[in-house]
């Protein structure tokens, strides 16, 4: 019973960290990256379709991404989706491929991105703390139902707190790495 609470809590905490990693991948760092385009959806024949399902994205240079649609008729829709996204770039096409140049980020823009990733990290930490809160409630319920003793609950809560600290530190490490990546010129 107590082990089930740990297992569920750890799974949820791992998912929160994975979600933060994927959110961080979508934040611009001054370099072109295929993962920046993961969140872009294209209006493809009346259906919102993820860009990576209708085109290949490559980054031959640090400041350039090339998008090659499998269906040439989707070029204008892809271009429009990129322009309306929060990437802040201006794509251009030659009828076959879309070129997306990434201009170097200004110091002010880099600081804005750092604020964004700090907010994402804080949201991740809140999610982990919410998992801890749920686990503590579950342990309290087990104690109330006389399935575990008060001492067992306290020991289990300590383990849940250790798990929480571990995953919060992991998010802090991810944040520190991403901040360094963004501020790098």
- Identify whether the C-beta of residue 148 lies closer than 8 Å to the C-beta of residue 36: no
Q: Which domains does the chain have, with CATH numbers?
A: 2-25+106-183 (1.10.132.20), 34-101 (3.30.1360.40)
Cβ neighbour number for residue 83 with a 10 Å cutoff: 13
- Residue among 1, 3, 8 at smallest CA distance from 134: 8
Task: Please give the Cα distance from 93 to 39 (Å, whole number).
Answer: 21
Q: What is the pLDDT of residue 127?
A: 95
Exposed / middle / buried, residue 109 (Cβ in 10 Å: 0-12, 13-18, 19+)? middle
Give the integer Cα–Cα distance in Å for 8 and 17. 14
CA distances from 30 to 44, 88, 112, 114, 182 (A): 29, 11, 13, 12, 7
Residues 6+ apart with CB under 8 A from 160: 5, 6, 9, 132, 135, 136, 139
Angle between helices 150-183 and 2-25 (to 10 degrees): 10
What pLDDT is attached to residue 185? 66
* DSSP states of 113-182: HHHHHHHHHHHHHHHHHHHHHHHHHHHHHHHHTTSS-HHHHHHHHHHHHHHHHHHHHHHHHHHHHHHHHH
Please, what are the averages of pLDDT over each run of 10 residues along the chain (185 residues)? 89 94 80 82 90 91 90 90 83 90 83 89 95 94 90 92 95 94 80
- Residues 46, 33: Cα–Cα separation, whole Å: 27
């Amino acid at each position: 019973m107590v082990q089930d609470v740990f297992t569920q809590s750890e799974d949820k905490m791992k998912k929160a960290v994975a979600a933060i990693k994927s959110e961080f991948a979508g934040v611009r760092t001054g370099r072109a990256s295929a993962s920046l385009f993961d969140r872009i959806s294209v209006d493809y024949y009346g259906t919102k379709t993820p860009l990576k399902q209708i085109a290949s994205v490559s980054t031959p240079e640090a400041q350039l991404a090339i998008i090659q649609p499998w269906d040439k008729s989707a070029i204008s829709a892809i271009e429009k989706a990129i322009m309306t996204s929060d990437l802040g770039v201006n794509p251009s096409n030659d009828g076959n491929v879309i070129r997306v140049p990434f201009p170097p980020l200004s110091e002010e823009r880099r600081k804005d991105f750092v604020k964004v990733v700090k907010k994402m990290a804080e949201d991740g930490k809140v999610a982990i703390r919410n998992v801890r809160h749920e686990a503590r409630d579950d342990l309290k319920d087990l104690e109330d139902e006389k399935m575990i003793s008060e001492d067992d609950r306290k020991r289990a809560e300590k383990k849940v707190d250790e798990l929480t600290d571990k995953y919060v530190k992991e998010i802090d490490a991810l944040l520190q790495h991403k901040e360094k990546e963004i501020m790098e010129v």
